[in-house]
Amino acid sequence: MPCRPGKSVISGFPKTVGDMGGRKKGQRRTALQTAADNATVELQRKIGKMLRDGRTRERLTQNTAAGAAGISQGEWSDLERGDKSATLATLNRAAFAVGGSVDAWIKQTSAAAMPKDAVHLRNQELVIRLSTTGDWTPLPEEFLDREARTSRAADVLLWRRSAQNAAQREYALWSVTDWIEDVGAVVRDFTRRLAAVDRYAVARMQDAEPVPSTGGCWLVRATQRNRQLVAEHRHFFRGRFPGSGRAWLASLGDPATPLPKEAGLVWVSVGGDRVFAARLG
């Protein structure tokens, strides 16, 4: 069988020299090796598809995603096609650039295996987990109005007794946003939900209780696009979210830190594993 330069043929299987192991010249692949090699090709194809799907979901161009990963646009294009020569480090950097990781993708096998709101759910889970040290009681997806059919739901509503006055309750609305599609719409919706939290808190007051303290914090996924948007319009966001992000994080994790009086903006990492204050100054 004729061979192109740089190629060898073993048992009828065309193969790039040096690819997939170090067999001696003329050595036949075993059935196990063939199955493993085929599985590797399929895995590379799946990772390429997940990179493409992740980039599309984040609405990034190949050039922008490649820049975040520290590679060229051409190399990124090869990755999306299932490049067999890519190192694990390169693949993982590319995955992180679009909000994923190779480890998570391998465990999932397919993006279809996860719920559509997996990223949103992961960020809600992080807020709830961090709130446990702040002595909060979490109420995820809590309806805020009496009429459930028309009620607004909180991404995460937290409540606790104030450390300064045990008779007073504190209610904290944590609104989670993965993708800022319409800034005005998101901000108006946040304001409406915050007003609904006020009504919710007052409706649950018991005899002789002081008026509850309420507040809200906007948790935004720290994608390159979201951070650039906030940076370019920081005066707008600072005017709408004047509260200290650090104060909100302190209140979340420390029962002695009171609920901030002004709304704040806090970032959640793309991987959904940490939160940090936004700098709007």
What CATH number is attached to the domain comprising 57?
1.10.260.40
- Percentage of the chain beyond pLDDT 90 is 48
CATH of the domain at 125: 3.40.1350
**21: domain range?**
7-113
Angle of CA points 132, 138, 142, to nearest 5° = 165
Q: Are residues 98 and 130 in the same domain?
A: no
Q: Is residue 262 part of a domain?
A: yes
| Residue type at 143 in one-letter notation | F
pLDDT tens, position by position, 212-269: 999 999 999 998 889 999 999 999 999 999 999 999 999 999 999 999 999 999 999 9
Q: Are residues 102 and 195 in the same domain?
A: no
Q: Are residues 152 and 66 in the same domain?
A: no
Q: Are residues 34 and 126 in the same domain?
A: no
How would DSSP label each residue in 159-213? EEE-SS-TTSEEEEEEEEES--S-HHHHHHHHHHHHHHHHHHHHHT--TTPPPPE
Q: How confident is the model at residue 210 (pLDDT cuts 50, 70, 90)?
A: very high
Q: Are residues 129 and 259 in the same domain?
A: yes
Q: Are residues 265 and 128 in the same domain?
A: yes
Q: Are residues 91 and 227 in the same domain?
A: no
SS3 state at 83: coil
Task: Name the domain count of the chain.
Answer: 2
0.85 exceeded by pTM: no
Report d(CA 187, CA 193) in Å as an integer.
10
Q: Are residues 42 and 85 in the same domain?
A: yes
| Cβ partners under 8 Å of residue 209, min gap 6 | 167, 168, 169
